[in-house]
Amino acid sequence: MSLLEAQGITKYFGGLKALEDVDFRISKGELVSIVGPNGSGKTTLFNIITGFHKPTRGSIKFEGSFIGGLSPYRIARAGIGRTFQITALFENLSVLDNVIVGLHHHTTSGMIDAVIRDRKYCTEEQACLEKAREMLTFVGVEGLESEFAARLPSFPRKRLAIAVALVSRPNLLLLDEPAAGLNVREIDGLAALLGRIRESGVTLCVIEHKMKFVMALSDRVMVLNEGRKIAEGTPGEVSQDEKVIAAYLGK
């Protein structure tokens, strides 16, 4: 069963054709990668799926309902999480608070509860605290709870960004270049983390440039070039595709 189904996604920025008629689907439990040269429209596709851009044309269906054109927070509540290409964190909040904000839409206590600190609010906050700690252990950022996010080194930053997205319990998690700027050992750590996330039942879609990483991890690869889909298939198929080789190496 397909979890996400995008049809004929087209996006123009004025005269610039960022995406042209891209069809795309993700099945439950898969790990799909999107690759392509810089400027081929990968991040634009993510932004359209998560509602940060409105598509010029095309429809997106998630778990059977249309989500095209909804605001980002509604799409997030529907169950699509994401990270950003330039690692986005709440810089001046503590590491723990970063994760707790990710739990926001699963809490129900309102503003009055928060001001009078009733029992409902307190138990909920306590539960959030525990869940956030569990999540930090899960992604491997421990012992840094009260540190400001801005003071973390780059790999823990990436892990924390994944934790913030993951703690909101998405069914589909979109990761925008998670391995960028990491060294070989860190990439192994990341691959292990992605494996654990998959085992927990979250479908993953990854934009990545590091081909070794993509080839080792993905079930399916989609290749974009200049806003069009030029190939799709298993890593083996895609790496043999003539158009892909031409796009990456030049004819």
Partner 1 sequence: MPGRFRVISYFGIILALYLIPVVVRIDYVINLLIFFLIWSMVALSFNLLFGYTGLLSIAQGGFFGIGAYAYALLVMKAGWPTWPAWVAGGIVSAVVSLPVSAITFKLKGHYFAICTLALSLIITGTLTIWRDLTNGSLGLVGVPPIRGIFLPWAGQVSFRSTFSFYPLTLTIFLLVLWVTYLLANSKVGRTFQAIRENEALSSSVGVNPNYHKAVCFFISAMISGLAGGLYASYIGFIHPMTSDVFIGLFALVCTVVGGTGTILGPVIGNLLLGTIPEILRIDPVVRNLIFGIVLIVVVRVAPKGIMGILKAKRQRAQGSRRV
User: Which residues of the shown chain bind partner 1 in the complex (CB under 8 A)?
Assistant: 50, 52, 71-73, 76-77, 81-82, 84, 88-93, 97, 100-102, 104-105, 107, 109, 111, 114-115, 117, 121, 125, 164-165, 167-168
- Give min distance, CB of 205 to partner 1, in A: 14
Determine how many CB atoms are found less than 10 A away from the CB of residue 41: 24
- Give min distance, CB of 216 to partner 1, in A: 27
- Cβ neighbours of residue 17 under 8 Å, at least 6 residues apart? 10, 11, 227
Nearer to partner 1, 103 or 179 (CB): 103
Burial 73-82 (b: 16+ CB within 10 A, else e): eebbebbbbb
233 beta partners: 221
- Give min distance, CB of 158 to partner 1, in A: 14
- Name the percent of the chain in helix, strand, coil, to the closest 5: 45, 25, 30
Handedness of CA 77, 80, 84, 87 (dihedral sign): positive
Nearer to partner 1, 87 or 225 (CB): 87
- Give min distance, CB of 94 to partner 1, in A: 10
- Give min distance, CB of 132 to partner 1, in A: 11
Phi-psi region of 220 (alpha: psi -120 to 50; beta: other; left: phi over 0): beta
Nearer to partner 1, 7 or 94 (CB): 94
In this structure, are residues 23 and 212 in contact, taking their beta carbons and an 8 Å threshold? no
- Give min distance, CB of 35 to partner 1, in A: 22
- Give min distance, CB of 50 to partner 1, in A: 6
Nearer to partner 1, 101 or 211 (CB): 101
Strands 65-66 and 57-62, by their bridges, are antiparallel
Three-state DSSP state, 161: helix
Nearer to partner 1, 158 or 220 (CB): 158
Nearer to partner 1, 127 or 216 (CB): 127
- Nearest alpha-carbon partner for 69 in 83, 41, 49: 49
Nearer to partner 1, 114 or 192 (CB): 114
Give the position of tokens 């950003």: 84
